[in-house]
Amino acid sequence: MNAQDRHRFQDDGFLVLPGFASRRQVETLRRRANEIVAQFDPQQGRSIFTTRNQAKHSDDYFLGSADKIRCFFEKDAFDENGELKQPKELSINKIGHALHDLDAVFERFSRNAGVRAVAAPLTVDPLLYQSMYIFKQPQIGGEVNWHQDESFFQTDPPSVVTFWFALENADRTNGCLWVQPGGHRTPLRERFVVCDGQASLEKIDSTPWPDADSIVPLEVELGALVVFHGRLPHYSAPNRSQQSRHAYTLHVVDGRAKYSALNWLQRGPHLPARGF
Ligand code: FE2
């Protein structure tokens, strides 16, 4: 990251670094993700969608994944009888949320010198809190509504930075990211908090989400890194194409900032968040 890159990040709230990861690195991550999915028992996830206590099971499965590696299904993966409409490997929405600490392949990539070098000017004491492997499956890849990642990682002062690695080409047809350049200077609209085991998304500012005139699609090629400010509004459309849109994300916060006890993702002493 040179001085011009740093200025661009400050001005726009994001930066695209084409060709950041090699094809070989990308293939290694994709192969490992496929292995994790192959080992995943779909019954585990299926019950979440089909039992009467669906919301509670779903919350528990999600909230319990902060320090684990768990697979999550696409919302549209099941038919009305609770059966998968397509093979398991084409039904998973994402794997989360501690791949970077618990899986040797993802740990090696997440803590490589290149990632550390990008993080260095942005965070003084970087701690890697969360990782996700996102599949954005063909045809059923779900929409991700406008949000700011800071809503999920509140620190005082704000510090979260997102690393988004393209593991396939991403464009408008398969649900690439859309961002609002400069939107990191707008207020934080929502916060996702957990109180007494109950998760909720609270509205804290009424500033509207960006309109169509102020947003840009980030169409990037396999290997690109998009690094963005925790307050940058971003969104991705459903994927109705025949082509998946795999990505790997990391969320890094500054260890000097106070990490909110209300954040859903908490790391206990058995697996504290670590740096590079
Ligand atoms: Fe996000």
Residues with Cβ within 8 Å of residue 239, at least 6 apart in sequence: 136, 137, 138, 139, 140, 141, 174, 175, 245
pLDDT in tens, the chain (276 residues): 899 999 999 999 999 999 999 999 999 999 999 999 999 988 776 655 555 566 777 778 888 999 999 999 988 888 888 888 999 999 999 999 999 999 999 999 999 999 999 999 999 999 999 999 999 999 999 999 999 999 999 999 999 999 999 999 999 999 999 999 999 999 999 999 999 888 899 999 999 999 999 999 999 999 999 999 999 999 999 999 999 999 999 999 999 999 999 999 999 899 999 999
Q: How far is the CA of 262 from the centre of ligand 1 (A)?
A: 18
Residues with Cβ within 8 Å of residue 60, at least 6 apart in sequence: none
Q: How far is the CA of 81 from the centre of ligand 1 (A)?
A: 31
Q: How far is the CA of 180 from the centre of ligand 1 (A)?
A: 13
Give the per-residue pLDDT at 60: 84
Phi-psi region of 136 (alpha: psi -120 to 50; beta: other; left: phi over 0): left
CA distances from 19 to 106, 172, 255 (A): 18, 19, 29
* CB-proximal residues (5 Å) to ion ligand 1: 149
Query: Residue 251 pairs with which residues in a beta bridge?
Result: 130, 162
Q: How far is the CA of 149 from the centre of ligand 1 (A)?
A: 5
Q: How far is the CA of 234 from the centre of ligand 1 (A)?
A: 6
Q: How far is the CA of 102 from the centre of ligand 1 (A)?
A: 22
**What interhelical angle do 54-63 and 42-50 show, nearest 10?**
140
CA distances from 243 to 28, 169, 174, 216 (A): 19, 9, 6, 21
Q: How far is the CA of 154 from the centre of ligand 1 (A)?
A: 14
